[in-house]
Structure 1
């Protein structure tokens, strides 16, 4: 929505970069009401104490005009400030008709406010809606341009995914509102501008660039280039990334749901049917996942990507995070126990009774020797992060765990953490389909659980076997099968306990899904204890008898 406030400057638009009075006035008048209407601004719910223009960068346009990349600092009553990217163009009233885009096509959310600059009245717009600005970004990436600024430099880096001698392509802004802004160039390239900025490089850009340019991994939208703000004695700040566009049918969550429909319709007839092409797709995804991790395993890579051992520091990081998560989930479960259905209550009780088993498992992880290695991984891997093309898969969204800090998203893990994420995703797919469909609402929940378990275990084993076959043995990432099994249980348990919090808070009827996942892991932990002769007398066995229906 266009602000009713207006500011002016006697300087020409081309001379405003260093006019601190103008930017300060803009940050105090037009920008606060405007920014608070933007989907990408994450500070709406916080008590704001003001905005300031932290830095202003100049980007020349092809017609001799310029746009500005404003780094806007949002200040709050509590907590640290946040920095946002706001690119700006000025459209003077008397020149609007001669521009290569129509001002009428700029939506309300792209109109910052009315201004008078250098004696000319006009409107400030978010520059992503300016065709000249979009072409300037595309050209600068293609030419690997660097533009010096009063505060460092804006560097455009070209990636292998951008074709040589690529000419101008028609561009448009994607209409989807999100935390970032997206533009397309022809039907070939996708450019994302990051709005909320972090004081280090974006992990998604690091990962996509490494997989494309170093790992030569073909099953991601290839890295076309990036936009980086570099300034002295501070980490580089990523402003944007370009990738190849991928034509896809749907994501793998939706595809798996389609495959499950056939299975679902057979269940009431007491038939168990999985089509052969389902196994083929699962095997293919297992291979692609393994190939991704092989591409990330580069012993001679720079420090940010070089493999590392299981250090004491890493173990303590993982244990500290998991124990805190576990304590919060126990408390949440106790507070909400009476809201759960009988089956979920029985699972919850077994989980709470298994606390000593889990504590012993964590203690074992703290001291157990590991010869396996850790690398950078996807970090938020599930079926929704995989696009299904006609005959293959494309892996997307490498930003990492949404609730983790940028630094934590760059921590190296065993690639089995990604495997655990996909296994949990398959478990969700079958459980959600069978327990939330009209076709099965009259069936015994215990029978449904058995049927869903059979489907899940077959799919899980198919995925994991295909994944591990990709590496061959021995491989430095995995010392042996015992370590693979142990580490996979660590990550599966962490993932299922994490999921439990969301379901308790937002979907109580789904709580049984992560609880069942937790119980499955504890069963496997118990098998390890029995096989290794590590049974501790004062740690009870898993109380699976509690899962049985009590006679009325």
Structure 2
């Protein structure tokens, strides 16, 4: 009879949230298994270690178990496979293992336990102090999520379950909680979280680790990327019309988003530690950018003609002789991480880059790193619709004009909102933006070769 580990070894690499695509899986081991709902139907939380070459990553699997006759059509797409029953179930009849994130009858228990603030056992359910959580709501999995799995409960809450696990408190929970305590108007209120202990391989200590976080569901929210793309589409439908005169001009929203970003940065600097980087530390940071550039040029020769201009920008950062203030920042900031509600912009997903450890993501950085990330996002929003477009060349100038108009508006809003004035810190901002563009070239070359022209064209325009 098939063992569960064998099924997971086939199933996990096929999931959208699996980070090791393209690399053979050497071993799969269930590191820990916690029974949340006993029996069949039942619910378990698994921490699964996946070995690939010289590294091992951990993933969270919400595992459902049912008898074969209890799997209906609504769960057929979530089936992992038929396996031997766990020892605690008794009996010899095989059971069906499936992804229980898609089973509303099981995920209702997660909401109930957060509401109860259930603190016993190896999996702990926490409710945010002073909050009340409504139960009895059915969940639905949001589609399109890349690195995590998000459940929507009615029109009240979203529960983001973190698939790839790193020991420690997830920065999304940490920063959102700090901003909620600061009474920020620009976040979705947190209501609770789920955690367990994972052993930190570097220290050998068991560390409380975030498995999921519960937040307010923003009913009227529209994704920032969608709004920007609509504006660009309106512009392309009016050839020759300046961006400010076309329907759906986005500049006003970009300016308000800049102000909201500055307010969040200001609240983070008040709620959490800050520091400064001296010239020597900035030179080391610039050295890291140069190293990434050399690796990118070796992998993507098309970047080579622009290498000297990029290198000069990084060298200029290394020669700055004034201190650079650093603090906690978003860390992976772009138009897909913000939503527009009836009352204004809201920032989401403070998780940072899921591919690096929690410890790395907690490092202080300049808020200009977030500014640079959003500026790159404006360039992407302006250019991606031109891929394969029959009038690509004719519309390229309109794309550049749209991106520049919204970049300027965002920076003006950021400075007006109390952030450091990007215009007065061009050396630092330029280095962060070029470093991000180099990363984009590498990403596109590996994952979306048809899109590589976006960062390459941007670099060419930026380094003129």
TM-score (norm: length of structure 2): 0.83
Mapping 1:29-428, distance limit 5 Å:
29-43=6-20, 45-60=22-37, 67-76=43-52, 78-92=53-67, 96=70, 103-115=72-84, 117-119=89-91, 121=93, 123-126=95-98, 127-148=100-121, 153-159=122-128, 164=132, 166-174=134-142, 178-212=146-180, 214-230=181-197, 233-248=205-220, 250-268=222-240, 273-274=245-246, 278-298=250-270, 301=271, 305-311=272-278, 314-315=281-282, 318-332=285-299, 335-336=301-302, 349=305, 351-354=306-309, 357-358=312-313, 360-365=315-320, 368-370=321-323, 372-390=324-342, 392-428=344-380
How many Å apart are 1:356 and its aligned residue? 6.6
Q: For 1:331, what is the secondary structure of its paired residue?
A: helix
Question: How far off its partner does 1:364 sit?
Answer: 0.7
Q: CA deviation at 1:130?
A: 4.4
For 2:143 and 2:310, the matched residues in 1 are separated by: 48
Closer, same or farther: CA 195–318 of 1 in aligned 2, 3 Å: same
Query: Where does the alignment leave 5 or more consecutive residues of structure 2 unmatched?
Result: 200-204
Equivalent-residue separation in structure 1 for 2:126 and 2:243 (angstroms): 56
Contact 2:437–2:455 at 8 Å: present in 1 too? no
Structure 1 or 2, whichever has the larger Rg, is 1
- Give the CA RMSD over aligned residues: 3.6
Q: Contact between 1:424 and 1:517, CA under 8 Å: does it hold in 2?
A: no
Q: 1:317/1:220 Cα in 2 relative to 1: closer, same or farther (>3 Å)? A: farther
Alignment CA distance shift 1:277-1:373 (3 Å): same
Partners of 2:314 and 2:146 lie apart in 1 by 40
- Please tell me whether the aligned partners of residues 497 and 518 of structure 1 are also in contact (alpha carbons under 8 angstroms): no
SS at match of 1:324: helix
Structure 1 unaligned spans of 5+: 7-24, 97-101, 338-347, 472-476, 521-552
CA distance in 1, matches of 2:242, 2:15: 52
Alignment check: 8 A CA contact 1:72 1:84 kept: yes
Normalising by structure 1, report the TM-score: 0.71
Number of equivalences:
452
User: Are residues 360 and 414 of structure 1, via their aligned partners in 2, closer, same or farther at CA, if it must alter by over 3 Å?
Assistant: closer
CA drift of 1:306 comes to: 0.9
Residue 293 of structure 1 deviates from its aligned partner by: 1.1
Please give the alpha-carbon distance, in whole angstroms, between the structure 1 residues aligned to 2:22 and 2:400: 42
Asked if 2 retains the 8 angstrom alpha-carbon contact of 1:193 and 1:239, the reply is yes
Greater shift, 483-492 or 173-182, is seen at: 173-182
Q: Please, which moves more after superposition, 498-507 or 195-204?
A: 498-507
Residue in structure 1 matching 2:411, options 441, 446, 464: 464
CA apart distance, 1:191: 1.3
Give me the whole-angstrom Cα distance separating, in 2, the residues matched to 1:292 and 1:460: 19
